[in-house]
Amino acid sequence: MRELPLLEARAIAKRYGDTPVFAELSLTLQAGELVALIGESGSGKSTLLNCLAGLDHIDAGQVLLQGQDLALLDEAGLAALRRDKLGFVFQAFHVLPHLTVRDNVGLPLLLQRRRDPARVEAMLAAVGLAALGERMPRQLSGGQLQRVAIARALVHRPALLLADEPTGNLDARHAEQVLQLLLAQVREQGVACLLVTHSERAAAHADRCIRLG
């Protein structure tokens, strides 16, 4: 028997006003799978990620995370699901400006009431930011901020990682470092990862590609 998909979208549709972004879109993601989401600018990749995370409402269809239909959850239920199961790397990082780098990375663990300083340090080291834990976000470069966002998205060992161009601001060396980190989470921890990317190099690491538009 086939394993229950970690994430399943069934014939979902999204429009803004009268303008459809996508329709009849179905996808599944299994634990331990890295899937690249590709498509031209404006094809709806970020919108799809937001819909899969329950951050944006769909107009038709169903999204199921570990069999749970997101539409049946209220806002508190959705927030708890995101807190416990999901890591999200936003295109705009959404790093909190008044917290240090270390506290930004530790935030998901704090929200789950399970502080783990060693895990936070390990994630900082994994993204090459071990020396910058005490810095404030305004003292970081764009690429460093992106790596903070990646460490924060993984620190609580989510079952699902939705990553919106996580290597977009990085030089080749750091992009490869981040890709290897994502791959390790997928292969060793069984994380399911949907990776939005314009990079052929990043897409080449994926098990499959889904194209929008």
Ligand X SMILES: Nc1ncnc2c1ncn2[C@@H]1O[C@H](COP(=O)(O)OP(=O)(O)OP(=O)(O)O)[C@@H](O)[C@H]1O
- Any contact of residue 16 with ligand X (CB under 6 A)? yes
Among 20, 42, 77, 117, binds ligand X (CB under 6 A): 42
Inter-axis angle of helices 117-126 and 101-111, nearest 10? 130
Nearest approach in angstroms of CB 58 to ligand X is 13
> CB-wise, 42 or 117, nearer to ligand X?
42
Whether residue 27 contacts residue 208, with contact meaning beta carbons closer than 8 Å, is answered with no
Among 8, 46, 61, 93, binds ligand X (CB under 6 A): 46
- Any contact of residue 9 with ligand X (CB under 6 A)? no
Whether residue 14 contacts residue 51, with contact meaning beta carbons closer than 8 Å, is answered with yes
DSSP 97: T
- Any contact of residue 92 with ligand X (CB under 6 A)? no
Among 45, 82, 147, 152, binds ligand X (CB under 6 A): 45
- Any contact of residue 47 with ligand X (CB under 6 A)? yes
Identify the sign of the CA torsion 189, 193, 199, 201: positive
Among 10, 28, 32, 43, binds ligand X (CB under 6 A): 43
CA distances from 194 to 23, 73, 90, 100, 130 (A): 19, 22, 12, 28, 26
Residues that bind ligand X (CB under 6 A): 16, 21, 39, 41-47
